Amino acid sequence: MNLTEKAEAYVSRLNLFAVIEKLLTLASLVLVAITAGGQLGRLLGLHGTMATVAAWSIALVYDALWIGSLRMSEVAIRQRSALGMAVMLGISAAAIGVSVATLLVLGHVKIFAGVPVAAAAFMGLRLFVDNVLADGATAQQIAAQSAAARNARALAAADARHLASEAHTDVVTETAEHLAEMERQIARSKVLTDAQAKISKARADAEAVLAKADKEHGVAAAAFMSRELLSVGSRPVVTPGGHTPPELDGHTVVTQVTPEIEAVTTPPVTQDETDTERVVEQVLVKGAMTLEELALAKGIETPEPSMTLSDEQLEVVLRWLRYTMEPPRSYRQAQDAFRRAGFQAREERVRRIWGQIETREAKAVPA
């Protein structure tokens, strides 16, 4: 340990109250001795050397009584002796009272009369610190524990704020996903509606053209189709009623020629199937695997409507929804059942996983 560390250790062990108490006690004793030693002899009727010796002897004995009572008061306090504290503190109080009275009556500078009281006050502070408060090392341990508790509370409060912020962010993100899905459905509906309108218009235009052509040329076209076309060598011959010309009867080979372009028939206009599905009666498959069994076979946690699904869990849910019905559910039917069951996932994820399921199904079934 170097000199600086020794000085710091000494200063940390130094009791400031004790130092001031010692200085004030010494000053009080000196003031009382000087005041009593200089005037007490005349008050006793003594003169000369005898007066000085008597006065200083009384002052020194009084100082010894004061110092002894103060020391014994401290010992009694440390021993927790009620009788000792009462006696010694009583003597100390009496000595302090006599010192104050002596300095007030006999002293030339009466302002020093409060020095004994100040010494007693600092003695009380020192005794309080030494006997009531903890020592420096213990106080440091208590301060460290208090700081640790404050830090723990601060960290807990910060964690609570962080969790609340994460929850708010999750809600905002989830809401944004729902809003995005809503906008996606709206956009899809608009696109499909426009496409359906264009298809319907094109079919209506085609029907109008065919109706006009049938009105203008339908009779002639029907008459033409009722005729037979014959070919003799490379020269076609058209005969009404299907009779063979006389000049062709005999050794000439006659072959019938069918028209290269058949009559165009326009199918009836039906409802567009862009976003509709053919209604097929479906029944539940008996003995089909449950969602829990499929998840167990896959080796994953059973999907729940309240949880965020991984790709594996989403695939298990879609397979369960598709193959629990006979014939299997279509994408639209499975998507509706998926939503009704309370599951949540982005549509592009659902479409991607559904496509993978159909791809594997197509590979498993030979063409």
* pLDDT band, very low/low/confident/very high, at 263 (cuts 50, 70, 90): very low
Domain count, the chain: 4
pLDDT tens digit string along 148-182?
998 999 989 998 998 888 888 888 888 888 888 89
Q: Is the pLDDT of residue 241 over 60?
A: no
Same-domain status, 28 and 123: yes
Give the highest mean pLDDT range of 17-26, 53-62, 223-232, 344-353.
Answer: 344-353
Provide the CATH number for the domain around residue 107: 1.20.140
Residue 164 in domain? no
pLDDT at 337: 92
pLDDT at 43: 63
Q: Domain boundary residue among 92, 119, 137?
A: 137
pLDDT at 232: 47
* pLDDT band, very low/low/confident/very high, at 311 (cuts 50, 70, 90): very high
Same-domain status, 22 and 86: yes
Residue 278 in domain? no
Residue 359 in domain? yes
Residues 117, 98 contacting (CB under 8 angstroms)? no
**Residue type for position 182:** M
pLDDT tens digit string along 93-121?
887 777 777 767 766 556 666 777 777 77
pLDDT at 38: 62
Same-domain status, 204 and 239: no
Residue 80 in domain? yes
**More reliable by pLDDT, 194 or 111:** 194
Q: Domain boundary residue among 137, 159, 187?
A: 137
Residue 272 in domain? no
Q: Is the pLDDT of residue 2 over 70?
A: no
Residue 5 in domain? no
Same-domain status, 121 and 181: no
pLDDT at 279: 59
* pLDDT band, very low/low/confident/very high, at 268 (cuts 50, 70, 90): very low
CA 75 to chain centre: 61
Q: Is the pLDDT of residue 357 over 80?
A: yes
When the pLDDT of each residue in the chain is averaged and rounded to a whole number, the result is: 76
How far apart CA 282 and CA 325 sit, in angstroms, is 6
CA distances from 76 to 32, 89, 230 (A): 26, 9, 150
* pLDDT band, very low/low/confident/very high, at 129 (cuts 50, 70, 90): confident
Q: Per the confidence metrics, is the pTM higher than 0.75?
A: no
| Helix (H) or strand (E) segment spanning residue 255 | strand 255-257
pLDDT at 37: 63
Same-domain status, 33 and 127: yes
The percentage of residues in the chain with a pLDDT greater than 70, rounded to a whole number, is 67
Phi, psi (degrees; rounded to nearest 5) at 283: -130, 155
Query: Which region among 20-34, 75-89, 206-220 has the lowest average model confidence (pLDDT)?
Result: 20-34
Query: Which region among 71-80, 106-115, 173-182, 336-345 has the lowest average model confidence (pLDDT)?
Result: 106-115
Give me the mean pLDDT over the 268-297 stretch: 71
CA 245 to chain centre: 99
Same-domain status, 241 and 294: no
* pLDDT band, very low/low/confident/very high, at 270 (cuts 50, 70, 90): very low
Range of the domain at 60: 13-137
**More reliable by pLDDT, 113 or 297:** 297
pLDDT at 315: 93
Same-domain status, 126 and 20: yes
Same-domain status, 232 and 209: no
CA 86 to chain centre: 64
Q: Is the pLDDT of residue 239 over 80?
A: no
Residue 82 in domain? yes
Phi-psi region of 162 (alpha: psi -120 to 50; beta: other; left: phi over 0): alpha
Same-domain status, 125 and 231: no
Closest to 63 in 3D by CA, of 13, 99, 87, 93? 99
**More reliable by pLDDT, 249 or 135:** 135
Same-domain status, 87 and 51: yes
Same-domain status, 293 and 357: yes
pLDDT at 286: 86
How far apart CA 89 and CA 82 sit, in angstroms, is 10
Residue 98 in domain? yes
Q: Is the pLDDT of residue 206 over 80?
A: yes
Same-domain status, 300 and 325: yes
